Structure 1
Amino acid sequence: MTLSICVRQLCKFAIDVVLRLCFSANLVVIVTPQEER
């Protein structure tokens, strides 16, 4: 396995994790009442 392939897989994994975190964060913002701000 070459370094470039490793980097590509790491980038794909990182992007997937970031997207999941953003999605879950959006759900939390939608679910929680806005009065707390």
Structure 2
Amino acid sequence: EQREWIGEFFFREVMPVITPIGLDPSHPFPRVLN
């Protein structure tokens, strides 16, 4: 269950930041979560 959550978190939050393809209108600039 935890591993599944981490996988979803990675694809939802990390991939848009590390891939230019993730720059869509809802994410115009890579977010830095603090």
Q: Scaled by the length of structure 2, what TM-score is found?
A: 0.44
Higher normalized helix content (fraction of residues) = 1
Q: TM-score, normalised by structure 1?
A: 0.42
Q: Higher Cα Rg: structure 1 or 2?
A: 1
